[in-house]
Amino acid sequence: MTQAATSLLPIVILISGRGSNLQSIIDCAASGALTVKVRAVISNRPDATGLEIARAAGIATEIIDHDLYADRQSFDHALQARIDQYQPGLVVLAGFMRLLSEDFVTHYHGRMLNIHPSLLPEFPGLHTHRRAIEAGHREHGASVHFVTADMDSGPVLLQARVPVKPDDDPASLAAHVLTQEHRLYPLAIQWFAEQRIFLDANGRIVFDGQPLTHPRDLAREQPLPC
Ligand code: GAR
């Protein structure tokens, strides 16, 4: 193994569907700008098209079909056991659309990230683009946060802001946000890989040695060259 290979952060990515964020992570890792090794992609849905993206990139894939488990706890147990076989330094939720139990989240405390298509704490949950338009918001976006037991919550480290135009509909707004997501998530993961960002003992984000009082804004950051 080369020196470069040993310094790559091992990650496992969880998906439920399309996998466009997965693709952006794979592309950035392939370019060398994102210093991670994707050890596995795990889906809770057998038909997730993101599984094809992972296979095409030569990444191990696993399916843990939630329909085959009696309850959330047994599903989460199986998922955790499978993830841990790959010994990731970071678990990356990329369009993973299952609620996770407190035990599961606690097990990965400080080493699990999620991306969500809103400017959290606005609009956790589903249909974020439609809700932002209906609320008359002029600005919308996406957030990367450390995962805690509450859905789409947890300390936010990085956000991308997108204007809501008068003629936007949920589909056009979703497309604009998604373009930003593909720049946002690799940068946040790279910060974690470089240990620039972590959770302290009180569950607060530390960024470059300082407490992070507000999420960083992608527009003010140096994007990854990928
Ligand atoms: C992305 O927009 C992501 O932010 C969202 O699901 C989509 C997955 O797209 N995640 C959530 O809503 C989490 N609550 P992708 O499969 O093409 O990456």
**197 C-alpha to ligand 1 centroid (Å):** 22
At residue 70, φ and ψ (nearest 5 deg) are -70, -35
CATH class of the domain whose range is 3-220: alpha beta
Q: How far apart are the first and last CA of the chain?
A: 25
- Establish whether residue 117 lines the binding site of ligand 1, counting it when its CB lies within 6 angstroms of any ligand atom: yes
- The three-point CA angle 183-129-165 to 5° equals 85
- Name 81's Cβ contacts closer than 8 Å, sequence gap at least 6: none
> pLDDT tens across 84-98, in order?
999 999 999 999 999
Q: Is 70 exceeded by the pLDDT of residue 115?
A: yes
Taking the C-alpha atoms of residue 184 and residue 44, their distance in angstroms, rounded to an integer, is 24
- Nearest protein CA to atom 12 of ligand 1, as residue: 116
**Whole-number pLDDT of residue 2:** 46
Taking the C-alpha atoms of residue 162 and residue 147, their distance in angstroms, rounded to an integer, is 23
**213 C-alpha to ligand 1 centroid (Å):** 25
Q: Is 80 exceeded by the pLDDT of residue 219?
A: yes
Where exactly are the structural domains of the chain?
A: 3-220
At residue 173, φ and ψ (nearest 5 deg) are -65, -40
Pick the catalytic residue from 116, 129, 140, 176.
116
Residue type present at position 116: H
116 is catalytic: yes
For 201, the 3-state DSSP assignment is coil
- Nearest protein CA to atom 7 of ligand 1, as residue: 95
